[in-house]
Structure 1
Amino acid sequence: MGGIQKLPKNFVSSEFNNDISKLERPFLQDSLISAPREIVGPGKRGNLSSKKETKGKICIMKNNDDHYLGYLKKGRPYSIPTLKINTENGQSKFSFDATETNRDTIHTSFASYLQQYDTLIFRSLKDSTLSPKEKFIGIDVDKDNRVICYLASTNGDLILNNADSLNLAEFVRNIARQQAGSETHIPIVRGHVDWRNDYFRIFGKMAFNFLALVKGYNFAIHANFDAIRNWIVNGGENKYVKFDNESGDYFSTVNIELPPYAHTILLAGDNEFLVATIRLYEGASVEILLGESTNSGIITDGLICDWQQRKEYRLNDYLKNISQGSTPYNPLPD
C-alpha cells in the first residue's frame, strides 16, 4: 500500500507481485517519485539506514559544457569513473568524482575491470544532446556486486569488443603511471523525469489493496471490481486513475497537520461509487475510481504513513488524537 502495513498472506498472488514489481522498479527510479525518494528517502524496502539509501540510476550528467556518467543519492550527484573518448581528434580523458581520495585505486580498479571483459555486463545510454564525436565508457559496481560497463553516445550505439577493452585498460594504466590525462570534478545533475501511463496502475494497486484491507477479501473480489482488477493486473486503457491537483484531497481542504513527507491514502464511498485519493511526499494528488458501490453504505477511511518515524495510522485514530490536542507523531528537527 506504499507504506508499512501489508495485506494478509494469500490476498495477493505471488505471480502478480512478481509481475507488478517489474513496473514498480522504474516507477521508483524514473518517475516523479524518484526525486523526493532519492533526496529524503527511504532506502530499499523502506529502510532508513544510511547504508540502504536509495541510489539513482546511472545517467548522463552535466557540469557546465562537459558531460559525465553518474547518479543521484540523497540529493547529491555522484559521478562514476569514466573514460571520455573524442573520436574526432583521438584524445581521451579519464575522470572520476572529486570525493574519491585514492586516485591510484580508481585507476587500477577501472583497468582491472576492463581486462575482465567476459564478466562485464554492458548497458547502453543515449542522449541526443551529446556531440556525435563524444563517447563515454563508465564502470560501476551494483548492489549485487556485479560490474556494469556503461557505454554512452548520441544514439546509444557504442559497442566495446574484447580487444578494445584490453587496449583501453592499458591506456588507463598508462594514465596512472604518467599522472596525466586524468581529472576530478563535482558533477551537476541534469534533471529528467519519465512518466508512463502504466505507472497509474501502481496507484491503483495501492488503493485497491487498502480497500481490501478495510473491507476484506470477499468484498474485494466482488464482480463490481472486475474491471479495475483486470486493469491493475494487465494494463490497457486507463479509465480509473488521474492526477487531481485542482480539487486535491481531504487534507488539502482542512487544517490538519500531517507528518513531514507523509504518504496518505483516503477512501470514500457512498451508494454510487467508491473512490480513493493517494498523495506521496506531499506532492501530486492522484484520484482513483475503484468502482460502483456494492450497497455497503457510507465508507470513509484512510491510512497515514509517517515513514520517517516508522509509524502508520488509520484515519480515525489520527483524527482522534488531533481532536484531543495531541500530535500523533514526532516531527523531525528543521
Structure 2
Amino acid sequence: MCIYYKNRTDLSYSSEEHIIPAGLGGIQKLPKNFVSSEFNNDISKLERPFLQDSLISAPREIVGPGKRGNLSSKKETKGKICIMKNNDDHYLGYLKKGRPYSIPTLKINTENGQSKFSFDATETNRDTIHTSFASYLQQYDTLIFRSLKDSTLSPKEKFIGIDVDKDNRVICYLASTNGDLILNNADSLNLAEFVRNIARQQAGSETHIPIVRGHVDWRNDYFRIFGKMAFNFLALVKGYNFAIHANFDAIRNWIVNGGENKYVKFDNESGDYFSTVNIELPPYAHTILLAGDNEFLVATIRLYEGASVEILLGESTNSGIITDGLICDWQQRKEYRLNDYLKNISQGSTPYNPLPD
C-alpha cells in the first residue's frame, strides 16, 4: 500500500522517494515500498514547475544545485527564457548560476523599420550564429512558438529569439508588450533572409551584460510540495504503519488532490529555530524540523535558509512527544539527523558525520 495512494491496488514500486527532492540536492530516500511509482510520476508534474518557476527557482539558479541535485558545472540549472534589460535596451535570455545569458535575438522596431541582431558576448560560434538562426527560421514547421510579454516594453518593440532546449527542440520566443506577436511562415522566411544579409555584412555581436527582469510566481498548489516533504520525513521517522494511519488522511488527500489549503503556510512569526539556539548551519542548507505533543504533529521547513514554512500534519495518534529533524548540506552531498548534528556540535567535531547511504 502506497502511503499516498492508500486505496489503490494497481500500483508499482520501481523507485525510491526522496525526502527532499533530488532537484534540491536531497539524498535520503524512503524504502522502496513506501511510495508508488504512480504517485511519483503524478506529483512530478507539480514538483517540476515548483523547482523551475516558483520562488525556489531563484536561489536554485544562483547557487545550485543543478539537474537532479548534480553539482557539476555541466548540470547547472538553466533558468526560463525571459525578457532581460541592459540600461534602456532589452534582450531575451536566461539566468544560469547567477550569471545572465542572452540568446540569439532579433529586435524589430515596427515604427521606423530598424532591426538589430544580438547574441551573448560569450558565444563561441560567432561565425555561424547568424546562419544557424536563419536556418531555424526557415524550418518554420518544426519551430515551437512561445510568447513572452512585458508591459514595460515599448509597443513598437518586437523581439524574436531562438533557443534549443535540453531535448534538442528549437523554441522560437516571440516577445512584445502584450504577448500578441505572431510569426507566420512568410514572415519567418523574410526574417531568415534579413539575418543572412547581416551575416554577409559581417556584423558582430553586441557586447552586453544584461540585467534579468523576469518573474517568478507562487501558486497555492506549490505548498503541496512542502506538505509532501514533511510527510515523507514523518514516514521516515515513525515508519510505514504510522504514516498510513487515518489521522493523516486529510493532509494525505490534499497532497494528492489539492483543494483548499488548511495545512501549510509561510511562518513569519516563530523565527528560525537554529538562529534562536545559536546553531550554525551549512551555507544554503535545507532543514526539516518535526515536533509533536499529545495533540498535533507539526513540521517546519526552510529551503536555502529562507522563509520558514509550517505544515500541520495532523493529530498525534497518542504517540507521545516527537522531536526530530533533517539537515541537508547539499553542497557537500551530506545529510544529518538533528540529534546527530547537535551531538557533533556539542563535541566540537567537524566535519559532521553524514547519514549512511
Q: Taking structure 2 as the reference length, what is the TM-score of the superposition? A: 0.89
Whether the 8 Å CA contact 2:105–2:117 is kept in 1: the answer is yes
Structure 1 residues 181-202: Cα deviation after superposition (integer angstroms, max 9, x where no partner): 9634221112523111111111
Whether the 8 Å CA contact 1:126–1:155 is kept in 2: the answer is yes
How far apart are residue 333 of structure 1 and its match?
A: 25
Whether the 8 Å CA contact 2:82–2:214 is kept in 1: the answer is no
Q: Distance in 1 between matches of 2:64 and 2:337?
A: 22
Whether the 8 Å CA contact 1:304–1:314 is kept in 2: the answer is yes
Aligned to 2:207: 184
Deviates more, 1:19-28 or 1:169-178: 19-28
Structure 1 residues 103-135: Cα deviation after superposition (integer angstroms, max 9, x where no partner): 221111111111111211111111111122211
Deviates more, 1:265-274 or 1:98-107: 98-107
Whether the 8 Å CA contact 2:162–2:170 is kept in 1: the answer is yes
Aligned to 1:16: 39
Q: 1:109 to 1:195 in 2, by over 3 A?
A: same
Q: Taking structure 1 as the reference length, what is the TM-score of the superposition? A: 0.95
Structure 1 unaligned spans of 5+: none
Whether the 8 Å CA contact 2:120–2:205 is kept in 1: the answer is no
Structure 2 unaligned spans of 5+: 1-23
Q: Alignment partner of 2:162: what SS?
A: strand
Q: Sequence identity of aligned pairs in percent?
A: 100
Whether the 8 Å CA contact 2:335–2:354 is kept in 1: the answer is no
Q: Distance in 1 between matches of 2:165 and 2:336?
A: 35
Structure 1 residues 25-64: Cα deviation after superposition (integer angstroms, max 9, x where no partner): 2211222211111111000010000000000000011111
Deviates more, 1:187-196 or 1:32-41: 187-196
Q: Alignment partner of 1:276: what SS?
A: strand
Whether the 8 Å CA contact 1:269–1:300 is kept in 2: the answer is yes
How far apart are residue 180 of structure 1 and its match?
A: 4.2
Root mean square deviation of aligned Cα: 2.9
Aligned to 2:61: 38
Q: 1:130 to 1:333 in 2, by over 3 A?
A: farther
Aligned residues: 334
Q: Which of the numbers 163, 166, 180 marks the counterpart of 1:157?
A: 180
How far apart are residue 290 of structure 1 and its match?
A: 0.4
Deviates more, 1:262-271 or 1:178-187: 178-187
Structure 1 residues 212-244: Cα deviation after superposition (integer angstroms, max 9, x where no partner): 111111111111111101111111111111111
Asked whether 1:2 is paired with 2:25, we answer yes
Q: Distance in 2 between matches of 1:186 and 1:328?
A: 39
Q: Alignment partner of 1:274: what SS?
A: strand
Deviates more, 1:76-85 or 1:141-150: 141-150
Q: 1:67 to 1:210 in 2, by over 3 A?
A: same
How far apart are residue 248 of structure 1 and its match?
A: 2.1
Structure 1 residues 151-177: Cα deviation after superposition (integer angstroms, max 9, x where no partner): 111221211122211111111000110
Whether the 8 Å CA contact 1:2–1:263 is kept in 2: the answer is no
